[in-house]
Amino acid sequence: MKRPRLAIAGLSGCSGCQLALLNCEAELSLLLEQVECQFFPLAISPVELTGRYDLALVEGCCTSRHDTFLLRELRKRSSRLIALGTCAAWGGVAAMGNDRPRSRLRRQVYGNQPIPADGVPRPVSTVVTVDATVHGCPPEPAELLALLADLLHDTLPLQRSFPVCCDCRMRENLCLLQERGMLCLGLLTAGGCDARCPSLGVPCEGCRGPVPEANVTEALTIYRQKGFDAPTVLGRLRRFCPEWQYGSGA
C-alpha cells in the first residue's frame, strides 16, 4: 500500500505547532512508517515543494508575500489542507494589532530603521480553502496524532464543539470563575485541551479560539455577575482571535 505524502509548513508564527508534533518522540518512528514526510523545512531537507501531497499541515498566519505564495502552492498541490493551530485558524497573537496602522506599529517596534513593508496578518482561510482546523496554541500532541490517524483512514478530524468547561468537569476541577472569582475564559473557548491550564489553577486564556455556537449573551451575564464587564472579557478573547465578534454579546 502506498504511503500518503505529507507536507508540513510554517508561515508567520513561532513554530510551536510544528514542535508539538516533533515532541511526539515515542510515536514518530511509527508515524514515519505510515506516511512519507516529503516537505518539512523545520525538520528535514530538502526544502522544495515537489509533486502532489495527500495532506498539508500549515502553521502560522499569512503575512508576507512569501507566505501567500507558499500557501497557494501548497493548496494547489495538496488534496487536503489543514489549518494547524490558532494563528493559522484566526490570526492569533500576530494579528492583535490589525486595528492599528501597520506603519505606526513598525515605527513603534523598529523606530526609523528601514525594513521591508509587510502585509496584515490574517488567517489561512482568507487566502485559500481550508478543509479542517486543529485548535490550540499549540495543539495537543494527542490531537496531532489523531489527525494523522484520520488521514490514514481517509477522513477529516472531528471538530471540537464543546467548551473548555466540559474538560474541567471531566477532570472534576473546581470552577475558577464560580468558586474563586478568577477571569477564566473556558465558557467561550473550544475544548479538547483536557483543561491543561485550569487543572493547574491557571485560568483559561482562550488560546484555542471560540467554541462554535456559544451562548455569548448568557456567558457575559455570568461574567458580569462575577465583576467582569463585556469589554474586559471580549478584549481578552480577541488576543487570539482578533476579528471574532463573539455573537450578539460583542
Lowest pLDDT segment from 69-83, 101-115, 194-208: 101-115
113's grid cell: 530603521
Judged against a pLDDT cut of 60, whether residue 190 lies above it is answered with yes
Distance CA 62, CA 245 (A): 21
Residue 101 confidence (pLDDT):
83
Judged against a pLDDT cut of 90, whether residue 178 lies above it is answered with yes
Distance CA 72, CA 240 (A): 24
> What is the band of 114 on the pLDDT scale with cuts at 50, 70, 90?
confident
What does the pLDDT look like over 141-168, one tens digit per residue? 999 999 999 988 888 888 878 999 999 9
Q: What is the mean pLDDT of residues 32-36?
A: 90
Residue 1 confidence (pLDDT):
65
Task: Specify the DSSP element, H or E, that contains 195.
Answer: none
DSSP secondary structure code for residue 122 in this structure = B
Q: Tell me what percent of the residues of the chain surpass a pLDDT of 70.
A: 96
Q: Which domains are delineated in the chain?
A: 5-152 (3.40.50.700), 164-242 (no CATH)
More confident residue, 47 or 203: 203
Q: What is the mean pLDDT of residues 122-143?
A: 94
Task: Tell me phi and psi for residue 103, to 5 degrees.
Answer: -65, -40
* CA 151 to chain CA mean position, Å: 19
> What is the band of 249 on the pLDDT scale with cuts at 50, 70, 90?
very low
| DSSP code per residue over 146-168 | HHHHHHHTT-PPPPP-SBHHHHH
What does the pLDDT look like over 47-91, one tens digit per residue? 889 999 999 999 999 999 999 999 999 999 999 999 999 999 999
* Nearest-5° Cα angle at 63, 45 to 57: 45
What does the pLDDT look like over 86-105, one tens digit per residue? 999 999 988 888 888 878 88
Judged against a pLDDT cut of 90, whether residue 248 lies above it is answered with no
Residue 247 confidence (pLDDT):
53
Mean pLDDT, the chain, whole residue set:
90
More confident residue, 140 or 98: 140
Q: What is the mean pLDDT of residues 231-245?
A: 86
Distance CA 148, CA 142 (A): 10
